[in-house]
Amino acid sequence: MRSIFSRIKMAKDMLSPLYYSGVKKLHQTRERLNYENAVKKLNSLQSNASVLQLAKQAGRGNHVELSANVDSTVKYLKRSGITFEKLDKLSVIHVSGTKGKGTTCALCESILRHHGYRTGFFSSPHLVAAKERIRINGVPLSHQKFAEYFEEVYDGIYKHREGDDDMPPYFKFMTVMAFNVFIKEQVDVAIVEVGIGGEYDCTNFIRNPAVVGITSLGLDHTYLLGDTLPEIAWQKAGIMKAGTVAFTVIQKSQPAMEVLRERAENRKCDLYVCPNLDSYLWDASMYSFKQVDEIQSLNISLALQLANEWLKLQSPFIERKIIEKKLFSDEVTSLPWRNHSR
């Protein structure tokens, strides 16, 4: 007959998996609730649709009025505890354009991550959950981390507000939160996708980006950016900064391309046009690019140039315009959203 102690041990051994499973489920439920509460607060902020509707009604403002969008982002960053001193230490790849910003950023991030660098990635909009917009090493923030960072940033901004309506709208809040995350997670590089335009986009507080990219241009948000491609090119080129290298793709509109060149010259920014994918020194056909369209082919080339330029800044032994096969891995070419044109 088993002793009472052996029976107790047997019972404990049987109950332990059930106990820890229950604790784990309780913990996951708590994390989910924290996340849902954070998203509820986030959704209570002025929506992007509302901001755009107001902008459409107001029409295009002057430079001072439009610049206030960037200035207010800086204000909220400071209220959250982020200073320019901290921001200037963050290595940022900033990308604007009309077609393929998201995929270009995703591909660039993947290349750098597979080279062993710790990456941050801020994009919009999200497909399913808000936490998708901010990624560390290619992975969206967990429910718990999103909730923790959200509450920290929200509380910092809320306690310094100067009135009931002195809170950032949805996208601006997410921008502020993303940079808080990148700095505190100590990423090696942050890949940041512009929201709308460039010159007056709330991400354009970045003073010294490591490298800048501009994807294919098209007519978008004309009530804000202008009715012609040259006008839109002027806006998109607003992320160029003095002393920074910028890359763009072959633009179908020559007048728009001229505007990009003029803006680069005025800003003392070196502008390079990415080569066609089939002109690289290695055989691009081996990477199954036959299924991508012309825009995506340009996006791939732009992502390669952005990644290569950033790597060159880390090591003088990497030559500009020379992309080696090692930049591309199976993981990079199998990106699940590489056939999208967002």
The DSSP code sequence of 127-140 is SS-GGGGEEETTEE
CA 94 to chain CA centroid, nearest Å: 8
Which stretches does DSSP call E strand in the chain?
A: 92-96, 119-122, 134-136, 139-140, 189-193, 211-214, 245-248, 270-273
What per-residue confidence (pLDDT) applies to 129?
Answer: 86
Contact in structure between 174 and 203 (CB atoms under 8 Å): no
Side-chain-side CA neighbours of residue 309 (13 Å): 25
Q: What is the pLDDT of residue 142?
A: 94
pLDDT at 23: 47
Give residues with Cβ within 8 angstroms of 302, minimum separation 6: 104, 213, 215, 247, 248, 249, 274
Name the CATH topology of 36-55+62-333. UDP-N-acetylmuramoyl-L-alanine:D-glutamate ligase (3.40.1190)
Please give the C-alpha separations between residue 109 and each of 169, 245, 292, 298, 303, in angstroms, as whole numbers.
Answer: 27, 18, 19, 16, 9
CB atoms inside a 10 Å sphere around CB 98: 21
Chain mean position to CA 235: 18
Taking the C-alpha atoms of residue 149 and residue 38, their distance in angstroms, rounded to an integer, is 9
Q: How far is CA 37 from the centre of its chain?
A: 24
CA angle 287, 292, 297 (to 5 degrees): 80
Read off the tokens for 156: 């910092």
262 exposure class (CB count in 10 Å sphere: 0-12, 13-18, 19+):
middle
pLDDT score, position 223 = 78
Res 222: pLDDT: 79
* Contact between residue 253 and residue 229 where contact means Cβ atoms under 8 Å apart: yes
> For residue 126, which amino acid is it?
H
Mean pLDDT by 10 residues, the chain (342 residues): 64 60 56 87 84 65 78 97 96 96 93 92 88 96 96 96 90 97 98 95 97 95 88 97 97 96 98 86 56 79 93 74 52 49 48
**What local confidence, expressed as pLDDT, does residue 339 receive?**
42
Domains of the chain by residue range: 36-55+62-333
In angstroms, the Cα distances linking 293 to 101, 288, 300, 340 are 15, 12, 11, 10
